[in-house]
Amino acid sequence: MDPVELNIFASRLEAVCDEMGAVLRNAAFSPNIRDRLDYSCAVFDAQGELCAQAAHIPVHLGSMAFAMAGIVSSLEWQAGDMVVLNDPYLGGTHLPDVTLIAPLFADGELTAFVVNRAHHADIGAESPGSMPLSSSLEQEGRVIPPDYLLRGGELNQRLYRSLVEENRNPQESAGDFAAQISANRSGVERLSLMIDEWGRAGFLSGLQALNDYAEKLALNAIAALPDGAYRFEDLMDDDGQGSLDIPIRVCLTMRGGRVTVDFNGTAGQVAGNINAPLSVAAAAVFYAFRCLMPPQTPACAGTFRPISLNAPVGCLLNAQRPAAVAAGNVETSTRVVDVVLGALAQVVPELIPAASHGSMNNLAMGSDTPGRRWDYYETIGGGMGAGCRSPGQSGVQTHMTNTLNTPIEVVEGRFPLRIRRYELRRGSGGAGRYGGGDGLRREFEFLAPVQVSLLTERRRRGPWGADGGGAGAAGRNLLDGEELSGKVSLKLEAGQRLIIETPGGGGWGTPSSDE
């Protein structure tokens, strides 16, 4: 293909993913998907290699790119199939993220897959919101190994009913699964039209050209970095089960446009749920290096060919079943980004920002009161780290998540609670030549008895600054004015108030004397 044709080809593939996302959002019932946009869509080839993705959630997309080949090769496929799974140890992330995979056949041959992954606030955990303070995978909800939700176009009623009817809100769950099915059907239809236009051989040729182009861009970007070995270490606050200051260590070895990312020295898997399957660690690594590549770099398998990953079996970033992983996807993945960027800051400090708020500030809640069962989950933004040219943004999601806040009107209209305050946490960004962004303050008043789970990080120490910049303020969780630990599960009464104060971002550069 000439450059113009290749650009059109890549844009058409991305448009398929974008349309899948639009269908999923518009058809979904839950705030998690419809309002927070906690979903991702992608296209893969027949071998499970990534072809394209929408600008959705990095931790979803990177983990799918890492693990899809193993999933699709283990199953028999026919037209009209749709496979459902959420097993973190088979390419998932954590149990609430449910993945649907649909094959596409052209000229009678398996040619591609369309995939979407969406967060379900209830996946069967005992605690509402399905983000418990867990110590084993079975406590986190229902584990769904790869299984046919549709086979040859026919819905597996037994599996479908079991997925939907066991939840606190079966109607909402049914709506979200129907939306995911619809998104994949849309993807198959649009991708089929594209293949009809290009021909199956032309489509496969285009994929090869796209991957070769992406690999060249990735090789050139990494080759621009000085060869050598660069190390960095950061700490997780705790695991929620008594272990504190849990290290994640990385060594980046760069040579000739390729990089090996080695996590030897990282802590072993822990009793709490900050463990991460290797696919989640890979997603964080891919994201960090993708940020160094030119904006036009395609999001496909070729982009990641120059990157090798090593995490010892049984460590925090390559946990083994049945380790709990609910917070590994959301909290540990974010810290992996911090350590990789921290190592890269030694190589190209002018390209690497200070640490951002470093937590998705997870809040899950709900009630099992008969006749009034409900559950809800949200993440809360914070301060972005500053860079060498500009201050960090305030009150935003960063790095491994790309979701929105849930509008106050939606929260108060659907659930028995009131948002008393939602504001920037002024002064929480780190000082520097360019200051870090400020975190957020969100205050909830509960109007009925509720069970609440918090999985948060950067509560013991703030995000680090870069090139002499100051650290951002650590986050705080407060119940009726009393400080809580970063990871906690509580049963609260009507009238109690919970305040989440999220961390600020680190500052960049030594502050001037007049600051």
3 state SS of 186: helix
Counting the structural domains of the chain, the total is 2
Element (H, E) at 245: strand 244-255
Residue 311 pLDDT: 97
Residue 475 lies in a domain: yes
* Residues 106-138: tens digit of each pLDDT: 999 999 999 999 999 999 998 999 999 999 999
24 domain residue, yes or no:
yes
Alpha helix locations (H) across 121-169?
A: 157-165
Structural domain includes residue 250: no
Return phi, psi of residue 237, to 5°: -55, -55
Residue 23 counted as domain residue: yes
Enumerate the H helices of 291-374 as residue ranges: 333-344
Backbone angles phi, psi at 442, to 5 degrees: -130, 125
Query: pLDDT tens for residues 430-476?
Result: 999 999 999 999 999 999 999 999 999 999 999 999 999 999 999 99
Structural tokens at position 496: 């109690």
Please answer whether residues 443 and 499 qualify as being in contact, where contact means their C-beta atoms are separated by less than 8 angstroms. yes
Res. 512: pLDDT tops 80: no
Per-residue model confidence as pLDDT tens digits over 301-319:
999 999 999 999 999 999 9
Whether 283 and 66 have beta carbons less than 8 Å apart is answered as yes
Taking residues 161-185, what's their average pLDDT?
94
Give CA–CA dist 488/237, Å, rounded. 13
How far from each other are the two terminal CA atoms of the chain, in whole angstroms? 55
Whether 265 has a pLDDT exceeding 80, the answer reads yes
> Over the chain, what is the mean pLDDT?
95
Please report the pLDDT score of residue 372 as a whole number: 86
Q: What is the residue whose two structure tokens read 């205050």? A: 443
Q: What pLDDT does 8 receive?
A: 95
pLDDT of the residue at 167: 85
pLDDT of residue 514: 54
3-state secondary structure of 49: coil
Assess whether pLDDT exceeds 90 at residue 61.
Answer: no
Judge whether 331 lies within some domain.
Answer: no
Q: What is the mean pLDDT of residues 44-56?
A: 92
* pLDDT score, position 64: 83
User: Is the residue at 294 inside a domain?
Assistant: no
Q: Tell me: the pLDDT tens digits for 377-430?
A: 999 999 999 999 999 999 999 999 889 899 999 999 999 999 999 999 999 999
- Rounded Cα gap, residues 100 and 72, in angstroms: 12
The mean pLDDT value for 52-58 works out to: 86
Residue type, 433: R
Rounded to whole angstroms, the Cα distance separating 106 from 80 reads 13
Secondary element (H or E) of residue 375: strand 374-378
Give the Cα separation of 252 and 289 in Å (integer): 11
Close Cβ partners of 90 (under 8 Å, ≥ 6 residues apart): 67, 70, 71, 145, 146
Distance set, CA 490 to CA 134, 326, 457 (Å): 13, 17, 17
Contact 175, 118 (CB under 8 A): no
Give 378's strand partners. 363
DSSP SS3 for 407:
coil
Spatial separation of the C-alpha atoms in residues 515 and 513, rounded to whole Å: 6
Asked whether 489 and 451 are in contact (CB, 8 A), the reply is: yes
Would you state the pLDDT for residue 370? 85
Last residue of a domain, one of 215, 240, 266: 215
Contact 465, 354 (CB under 8 A): yes
| Cα dihedral 9→304→320→145 (10° resolution) | 10
SS (H, E, C) 61-126: HHHHHHHHHHHHCCCCCCCCCEEEECCHHHCCCCCCEEEEEEEEEECCEEEEEEEEEEECCCCCCC
Residue 515 clears pLDDT 80, i.e. is over it? no
Q: Is residue 230 part of a domain?
A: no
- Both tokens assigned to 323: 């380790």
Residue numbers of the domain that contains 362: 353-515
Q: Are 468 and 510 in contact (CB under 8 A)?
A: yes
Q: Are residues 358 and 209 in the same domain?
A: no
Q: Is the peptide bond before 407 cis (omega within 30 degrees of 0)?
A: no
Position 149 pLDDT exceeds 90: yes
The last residue of one of the domains, among 161, 184, 215, is 215
Is residue 292 assigned to a domain? no
Q: What is the mean pLDDT of residues 145-166?
A: 95
Domain boundary among 198, 215, 232: 215
Burial of 237 from C-beta contacts in 10 A (0-12 / 13-18 / 19+): buried
CA 294 to chain centre: 22
Q: What is the pLDDT of residue 513?
A: 62
Q: What is the DSSP letter of 272?
A: S
- pLDDT at residue number 89: 94
Is the Cβ–Cβ distance between 96 and 85 less than 8 Å? Answer: no
Q: Can you tell me the distance from the alpha carbon of 97 to that of 166, in angstroms, rounded to the nearest whole number?
A: 17
